[in-house]
Amino acid sequence: MEPYRLSLTEASHMIWGGILTPTRLAESLLDRVERLEPVVEAWVTVDREAVLEAADAATMEAEEGQFRSPLHGVPYGVKDIFYTRGLRTTMGSTLYSGFFPDRDAAVVKALRDAGAVVLGKTETTEFALHDPAPTRNPWNTGHTPGGSSSGSAAAVSCGMAPMALGSQTGGSVVRPASYCGVVGFKPTYGLLSRDGVYPLSWSLDHVGYMTRTVEDAALTLSTLKPDAAPAVESEDSPRVGLLSGYFKENASDDVWLGYEQAVGKLWGEGAEFIDVELPPSFGMAPSVHRVIMAVEAAAVHEDGLRANPEGYREYIKGFVSSGLLAPATAYLRAQRIRDVILRDVLSSMDGFDCLACPSTVDTAPRGLEWTGSPAFNAPWSLTGLPTVTVPSGISEDELPLGLQLVGRPHRDHDLLEAAAWCEEALGFMEGPMDPYTP
């Protein structure tokens, strides 16, 4: 088997077992990137020489029996808003087309210290907001891969990387992961450091990542946060609170049918599902999220927009301008309502291992003009609760569907445990795919 096909966990085991060298794995992934990139356009920067140099160093350490972590010698992608020392970091903006940071983002440094190898920088929408990257969805190259972590999701989906970092302010990890048929994990707010990640909205921004299996997501979390609370050991199938209401009202027919089929399958495998009514305050989530994000994004970009208005594309200009017009009292009020929503949602989670809902409103939209709606993800970015999307099936239009699970704050491993159970029960575990162009 070509090494690029390996999951992160499989690659890790083979490197530790001396069956695979980091250099061989990196070569396989670089060849895969070279072959698929003209079609998928997932990468902003790949420095082949630097990748092989880092992989060679990891190989030498492994030959001497020195393994820094389970991710030793494993290459991964980095969304292009994460600072990478000496490697161009553009934020998806022409304003930063020549920016070479002199330091790593905290999470990149942690992975570097763990022996992982930066494979390259992945495409993002402009400043991780809306204006799209050129990336195509490997499942159908006429469709968006989602965003803002567009390149990370596409790269993992088609075997160009076993793991890639992303960020989520609205739905920028879970949505593209679901659109591309991979696992997307957004940990509890603040669990992974945002240091060195270009901000969009400080109190909503989360660091997360994509993998092809839940096991890979758990291994990555254990490496990045060894002190995160471990999963409570249980032989039981998960007790899941089923969400409808807002989600049923806004889901496409395809998505809702797929969700019901996935739930039916999990129920058949022994999961316990109980309908949960969303608290009335949840209805305020979209407005509260909008106010906070617009105001914080305005604060981030106010100076830049004033100094270089021609350097910004239209959407972000308009969004930032709208935030500049919001009263301070409205921002504070939104932050107060946010606390009410969080408390109410936590109350409705009582007695459940997690909540479940579809990962996205629809399947990946046709065209590359926009990256889809974050409406099913933004409430969880607002509440900071950990979420994970697990591929759950294929729609009538031959695009992936995802099941989104929502966990309790700081019980991220518990959430991944429930997700692993669902992943196995759903039995939807595709290997890396070759891009399909109709």
> Catalytic site residues?
79, 148, 172
Residues 6+ apart with CB under 8 A from 323: 293, 294, 295, 296, 297, 298, 299
**72 alpha-carbon distance from chain centroid:** 22
CB 43 → other proteins: shortest distance, Å?
Answer: 30
CB 288 → other proteins: shortest distance, Å?
Answer: 6
Nearest Cα to Cα of residue 223 among 78, 67, 81:
67
**Which residues in 384-403 contact other proteins (CB under 8 A)?**
384-385
Residues 6+ apart with CB under 8 A from 149: 79, 122, 124, 128, 164, 165, 166, 167, 168, 172, 173, 176, 208, 210
What backbone phi and psi angles, to 5 degrees, belong to 50?
Answer: -65, -35
Q: What is the DSSP letter of 334?
A: H
CB 204 → other proteins: shortest distance, Å?
Answer: 9
Q: Does residue 299 bind other proteins (CB under 8 A)?
A: no
CB 329 → other proteins: shortest distance, Å?
Answer: 8
Q: Does residue 317 bind other proteins (CB under 8 A)?
A: yes
CB 24 → other proteins: shortest distance, Å?
Answer: 42
Task: Write the Ramachandran bin of 196: left for phi over 0, alpha for psi from -120 to 50, otherwise beta.
Answer: left
CB 231 → other proteins: shortest distance, Å?
Answer: 17
Scanning 24-32, 151-159, 279-287, 359-367 for contacts with other proteins by CB under 8 A, the matching segment is 279-287
Residue count, binding to other proteins (CB under 8 A): 41
204 versus 210: smaller Cβ distance to other proteins: 204
Q: Does residue 174 bind other proteins (CB under 8 A)?
A: no
Q: Does residue 190 bind other proteins (CB under 8 A)?
A: yes
Q: Does residue 342 bind other proteins (CB under 8 A)?
A: yes
CB 94 → other proteins: shortest distance, Å?
Answer: 19
Q: Does residue 186 bind other proteins (CB under 8 A)?
A: no
319 versus 428: smaller Cβ distance to other proteins: 319
Burial letters for 122-143: b for 16+ Cβ neighbours within 10 Å, e otherwise?
bbbbbbbbbbbbebbbbbbbeb
113 versus 339: smaller Cβ distance to other proteins: 339
158 versus 204: smaller Cβ distance to other proteins: 204
Q: What is the DSSP letter of 436?
A: -
Q: Does residue 333 bind other proteins (CB under 8 A)?
A: yes
Q: Does residue 287 bind other proteins (CB under 8 A)?
A: yes
The encoded tokens of residue 222 equal 């254990």
In the set 60, 230, 274, 336, which binds other proteins (CB under 8 A)?
Answer: 336
In the set 40, 118, 192, 291, which binds other proteins (CB under 8 A)?
Answer: 291
95 versus 326: smaller Cβ distance to other proteins: 326
Scanning 60-68, 211-219, 257-265, 290-298 for contacts with other proteins by CB under 8 A, the matching segment is 290-298
Tell the burial category of 245 from Cβ atoms under 10 Å away from its Cβ (0-12, 13-18, 19+). middle
Scanning 161-169, 182-190, 211-219, 424-432 for contacts with other proteins by CB under 8 A, the matching segment is 182-190
In the set 95, 395, 409, 429, which binds other proteins (CB under 8 A)?
Answer: 409
Using DSSP's 3-state secondary structure scheme, residue 357 falls into strand
**DSSP structure string for 130-153:** SSPPS--BTTBTTB---SSSHHHH
Residues 6+ apart with CB under 8 A from 83: 89, 101, 103, 104, 105, 108, 196, 197, 198
Tell the burial category of 250 from Cβ atoms under 10 Å away from its Cβ (0-12, 13-18, 19+). middle
HEC string of 262-322 equals: HHHHHHHCCCEEEEECCCHHHHHHHHHHHHHHHHHHHHHHHHHHHHCHHHCCHHHHHHHHH
346 versus 394: smaller Cβ distance to other proteins: 346
Using DSSP's 3-state secondary structure scheme, residue 249 falls into helix
Q: Does residue 290 bind other proteins (CB under 8 A)?
A: yes
In the set 193, 237, 321, 395, which binds other proteins (CB under 8 A)?
Answer: 321
Q: Distance (Å, rounded) from C-alpha 79 to C-alpha 218? A: 20
Q: Residues interacting with other proteins, by CB under 8 A?
A: 188-190, 203, 284, 286-288, 290-291, 294, 314-315, 317-319, 321-323, 325-327, 329-330, 332-340, 342, 346, 383-385, 408-410
